[in-house]
Amino acid sequence: MKTGFVGWRGMVGSVLMDRMQQERDFDLLEPTFFTTSQVGQAGPDLGAGSTPLLDAYSLDDLAHLDVILTAQGGDYTKNVYSALRDRGWKGFWIDAASALRMREDAVLVLDPVNGARIEEAIAGGARTFCGANCTVSLMLMALGGLFEAGQVEWLSSMTYQAASGAGAAQLRELVAQTVALADAVGEDWNDPEVSVLELERRVTAALRDEAFPHESFGAPLAASLLAYIDSAMPGGQTREEWKGMAETNKILGQDPPVPVDGICVRVGALRCHSQAFTIKLRDPLPLDEVEQRIASANDWVRVVENTRDATFSELTPTAVSGTLSVPIGRIRKLAMGDHYLGAFSVGDQLLWGAAEPLRRVLRTILAS
């Protein structure tokens, strides 16, 4: 199939390209690479030579394609998608952005969780596929087994979201903030004559200094946190929090919807989102059954023993970054009673949270 790639050089796009090369996805399709800014420059060479980049805004060039996969962002989608469909284009549109997610004709893709629904949708004529919000996808990769068993009466997810989820500029800014903090103390961190409270004062003063790099986030993140992600929604929720319930239930095709809510918080992790779950179970399942259902749901979720050692070595952004593994640990019954379960999971926001479901739905489409 003639497949066009837009936004393949950005952060999500680069992770996607790497994964597609690792899995030899390009052997199965005929790629064309597009650009919004460098028309005519040489495209990537995937082994068969490179061809010039085409204009991502040229509806004529896009209309020849069987599949378009974009990680260019929501503004691009809003600019091009409807215009292309209005011209009668009937190809497959695969999108990392949120712009089309809530359209009735758009399918949210996370095949380890809703693979059968995706295949049914393709057979039924669906042509628009969107990756879901990264926090939602990572939550469902971790807890799919409990949803599948119909055991989740409601779920609260308190998140610890990485800088990468906010964008490439923000991830770079987190690194810049870390460097600025190092500069604020210099070698004094190791001088026993400088008290630890003096070090803390210097770091805090640096964080509060207007010159501290914070343009992209709007506030310091390093050595701090930001308890507001995305824009305001009615009722005091943020849009990130709103997506939790809306997208979870859309992915699962769940009606009536399972209530999902929580507070979404940005922390100084690089590319792994973590989440602390409070789950009300429908039945007071024993813990070993809970763990067995969670662990058997897909090939990537991994139950981590509820010990300090296992938590430190397996359940951190440091351990998980750059991997497809979705560990979930700290699984225990909460003090509220036998129906209440606590758990904590970590997942790479650029892999299962963004690129991986897209390359996998592309494979499903190619095989259909």
Judged by CB under 6 A, which stretch of 161-169, 174-182, 208-216, 338-346 contacts ligand HSE? 161-169
Considering only 84, 155, 229, 245, the residue that binds ligand HSE (CB under 6 A) is 229
Nearest residue to ligand HSE, by Cβ distance, number only: 165
Binding residue (CB under 6 A) for ligand HSE from 15, 68, 134, 328 = 134
Please report whether residue 165 would count as binding ligand HSE according to CB under 6 A: yes
Q: Which stretch binds ligand HSE (CB under 6 A): 105-113, 158-166, 184-192, 305-313?
A: 158-166
Residue 161 in contact with ligand HSE, rule: CB under 6 A = yes
Q: Please confirm, yes or no, whether 273 is among the known catalytic residues.
A: yes
Integer Cα distance of 51 and 68 in angstroms: 17
CA distance 6 to 28: 18
CA distance 283 to 333: 12
Q: Which helix (H) or strand (E) holds 205?
A: helix 196-208
Is 134 a catalytic site residue?
yes
251 binds ligand HSE (CB under 6 A): no
**Which residues pair with residue 52 across a beta bridge?**
42
Taking CB under 6 A as the rule, does residue 272 contact ligand HSE?
A: no
Toward ligand HSE, which CB reaches closer, 15 or 281? 15
133 binds ligand HSE (CB under 6 A): yes
Structure tokens at 200: 């803390």
Which residue out of 130, 214, 264, 273 is catalytically annotated? 273
Out of 130, 134, 264, 272, the active site residue is 134
Q: Which two tokens stand for residue 7?
A: 């936004």
Q: Is 248 in the site for ligand HSE (CB under 6 A)?
A: no
Question: What is the residue-wise DSSP string for 21-86?
Answer: HHTTGGGGSEEEEEESS-TTSB---SSS---BPEETT-HHHHHT-SEEEE-S-HHHHHHHHHHHHH
Part of the chain binding ligand HSE (CB under 6 A), chosen from 40-48, 159-167, 199-207, 285-293: 159-167
User: Which residues are CB-neighbours of 8 under 8 A, at least 6 positions away?
Assistant: 14, 16, 17, 33, 44, 71
Nearer Cβ to ligand HSE, position 148 or 230? 230
Asked whether 59 and 80 are in contact (CB, 8 A), the reply is yes
Please tell me the distance from the alpha carbon of residue 107 to that of residue 365, in angstroms, as a whole number. 13
Q: What are the residues binding ligand HSE (CB under 6 A)?
A: 133-134, 161, 165-166, 229, 240, 349, 353
Which residues are known to be catalytic?
134, 273
